[in-house]
Amino acid sequence: MARWDFFLVVDFEATCQEKGRIYPQEIIEFPAVLVDAATGSLVSAFRTYVRPRHHPQLTAFCKELTGIEQSQVDGGVGLGEALAKLDARLAAAGVARNRLAVVTWGDWDCKTMLESECRFKGIPKPEYFDRWVNLRIPFEAAFGPGRRNLQEAVKEAGLQWVGRLHCGLDDARNTAYLLVEVMRRGVAISITGSLAPALAPKEEGDEAPSQPQPQPQPQAQRVGLNLGMWAGGAGALPCCCFCGVASR
């Protein structure tokens, strides 16, 4: 039986400026493409624009790079609502979260950008975003080692680039096409990155402790596929993310 029923390909766009880092950086385009793991078909696409809270006015550089207009983010939703909208879309499609794998080109989207902003703003996120496939790794298994950006990888795979570079939805679609090509070449797709804590191995002969153990403190509730809307509050952890434009 196949490990995954669906792949969810994401490619976030975020606030940025031409010189130096913008702090805190915030997602402004939230796209996702759903891929059937059995057939390789692109099932559906999702996109919502996200209204930045700390730097609501986009820089000229950001608008030129991403093609996103100020009016689009002004009419956007909060990050929490964007996550909830995607969750509802997946629920309506009957996607089981334990049979879904998130796919990105690189680790930045899940490991750095989404995680940092959710922590900074105190926004819970669906647990399927805590594990992901960095497509660079199976791509290298198919085409050999070497550093390429997404557009170079698409060309090397013999595919035609579709749409506008640094449009999040177009980047996600091209990543999805690349994923399908890698699968077509027989490379197994497995999780390559994770934010979930590793379980300590249990040694042989370990016995349950005789004394009662202190109970862990309750953590922020994780979001399942049927969660409704939620709003983000102030977070205690700093945001230290970076757009990574040069490395994509």
Kindly list the catalytic residues. 13, 166
CA 230, distance to chain mean position in Å, is 19
Q: Is the dihedral of CA 236, 54, 245, 184 positive or negative?
A: positive
Dist. CA 233–CA 226, nearest whole Å: 21
Task: Give the residues across from 100 on adjacent strands.
Answer: 6
Q: Give the closest residue to 22 by CA, choosing from 85, 65, 83, 69.
A: 65
Q: What are phi and psi of 245, to 5 degrees?
A: -55, -45
Task: Give DSSP secondary structure letters for 123-176.
Answer: ---BGGGGEEEETHHHHHHHH-S----HHHHHHHTTPPP-S-TT-HHHHHHHHH
